[in-house]
Amino acid sequence: MLLTRRARYSLLAIILYLTLCTIGGIYLADGTLHPARRSLTVEEDIATQNIAKELNAIIVDVSISTHDAVTLRAWLILPRHPNHDAVLLLHGLGDNRLGMTSYAQLFLAHGYMVLMPDSRAHGTSGGQLATYGLLERNDIHQWVDFLGNQFRPHDELHPRCIFALGESMGAAQLLQSLDTHPDFCAVAAESSFANFREIAYDRMGQPFHLGPWVGRTILRPLVEIAFLRARLKYHLNMQEVSPEDSVGRTDIPVLLIHGEIDSNIPVRHSQVIHARNPHTQLWEVPHADHCGAYSTSPQEFERRLLAWFKQH
């Protein structure tokens, strides 16, 4: 029996829709795992050296080799008058260590040793893929071990406590690293996503200024194909990227920070993470957009963050 004209058009529309979702899912997966790399220029390096001099601190270029033979690079910044604590700073997607400069200045002014790495596939670090915590959780553990082993136990620079602050992607990576039980005394995470599937749904709706329902319904096949592409081509199970699960299992003190008007990663993500572990603390920052807590409320940000670290 021949199909009616309406049925033929409907079938054609379905085929076209599935074809576009397939192509879109492939491009989405490949683009997400290969973010644009922001290089570190000589001029930026010199500018940072000058900032360190103004703060009477010394910058040292350091690196580690990961278990999968990727070289990761960082700045280790040593204050002249250390307070015997260290802090690890983790930047966001498509950025490099320079994105954490303002936080480094804050901590150096209070005597903290500061470690500022480029995440894998970012800045001057090696690696071809950004995996949003799947591999980076182990990288972070290695950086913590590096800080703990860099100085002898009785050296005045040997850190008594190691803390960490991450923003956006760096925050999500940091929270997932808690699964590997690094020796953090406490951590702070600003604008983290709750899990990779939920942020994928958000991303589908954002170009249309709509909510995550677009990704959960109309563009759900595109999301599923992107997850499948990551699994089959890159051997990455992005379903396992879940800061909320990691926080739910940890006893390391976690301060969650999120702008109330975050248009990139909505505040509900940190609310979900907080709900998984009642021992966490959540600061929802009025009038702050994505990773905007420090610029919106600098004094309150400094007070809360330093008090959180000193408390633990």
Do residue 63 and residue 212 come from a single domain? no
Amino acid sitting at position 283: W
Question: What values do phi and psi take at 78, rounded to 5?
Answer: -105, 120
pLDDT of residue 149: 87
Count of structural domains, the chain: 2
For residue 199, what is the enclosing H or E element? Answer: helix 196-205
pLDDT of residue 11: 84
- End position of a domain, from candidates 208, 240, 272: 240
Do residue 26 and residue 148 come from a single domain? no
Q: Would you say residue 76 has pLDDT above 90? A: yes
CATH of the domain at 58: 3.40.50.1820
Do residue 170 and residue 92 come from a single domain? yes
Q: Name the percent of the chain lying above pLDDT 90.
A: 82
Identify the band that residue 154 occupies on the pLDDT scale cut at 50, 70 and 90.
low
- End position of a domain, from candidates 181, 208, 240: 240
pLDDT of residue 153: 67
pLDDT of residue 2: 59
pTM of the predicted model as reported, rounded to 2 decimal places: 0.94
Rounded Cα gap, residues 244 and 296, in angstroms = 26
Tokens representing 136? 């980076």
Taking only the tens place, the pLDDT of each residue in 82-100 is 999 999 999 999 999 999 9
Amino acid sitting at position 88: L
The residue-averaged pLDDT of 267-275 equals 98
CB-CB contact of 102 with 291 (8 Å):
no
Do residue 101 and residue 176 come from a single domain? yes
Do residue 190 and residue 206 come from a single domain? no
Do residue 86 and residue 72 come from a single domain? yes
The residue-averaged pLDDT of 192-201 equals 97
pLDDT of residue 221: 95
Q: For residue 223, how many other CB atoms are within 10 A of its CB?
A: 22
Do residue 125 and residue 256 come from a single domain? yes
Do residue 218 and residue 78 come from a single domain? no
Q: Would you say residue 38 has pLDDT above 80? A: yes
Q: What domain range includes position 264?
A: 38-195+242-311
Do residue 177 and residue 208 come from a single domain? no
Tokens representing 249? 């299992």
Contacts of 201 (CB under 8 A, 6+ apart): 212, 213, 214, 215, 216, 223
Could you write out the three-class secondary structure of 82-134? CCCEEEEEECCCCCCHHHHHHHHHHHHHCCCEEEEECCCCCCCCCCCCCCCCC
Angle in degrees, 0-180, between the axes of helices 268-276 and 196-205, rounded to the nearest 10: 160
Do residue 51 and residue 26 come from a single domain? no
- End position of a domain, from candidates 240, 263, 297: 240
Do residue 223 and residue 99 come from a single domain? no
User: Which range (48-52, 58-62, 88-92, 211-215) has the least confidence?
Assistant: 48-52
Do residue 65 and residue 208 come from a single domain? no
Contacts of 136 (CB under 8 A, 6+ apart): 119, 120, 173, 176, 177
The residue-averaged pLDDT of 113-141 equals 97
Rounded Cα gap, residues 89 and 97, in angstroms = 8
Rounded Cα gap, residues 250 and 18, in angstroms = 41
Q: What angle do CA 201, 214, 262 make, to 5 degrees?
A: 55
